[in-house]
Homo-oligomer: A and B are copies of this chain.
């Protein structure tokens, strides 16, 4: 079983309202040590017995067509067999 992990994060300089609002909420709850919060999304995709090189190419296409927004996101792909 080939499994791909796509780790999606915001490009540097792109504002992260979810992170900054979570920081504020944690301060309101008394967690004063928190300096900043960022979120990352991970897609785990099972690709059956696709060969590894082909899996990587396919996942790269999926990222560009559906899983990420190239205007605001960077992504890394890890393939595990």
Q: A residues bordering B, Cβ < 8 Å? A: 22, 25-26, 29, 31, 33-48, 50, 55, 58, 61-62, 65-67
Contact = CB atoms under 8 A, between A and B. Distances in A.
Interface SS majority for chain A = mixed
Contact of A35 (B22, B31, B33, B48): B48
A58 B65 CA distance: 39
Contacts of A37: 43-46
A35 to B, nearest CB: 4
Contacts of A43: 22, 37-39
A9 to B, nearest CB: 9
A45 B34 contact: yes
Given A22-B66, A26-B66, A58-B31, A38 B47 contact: no
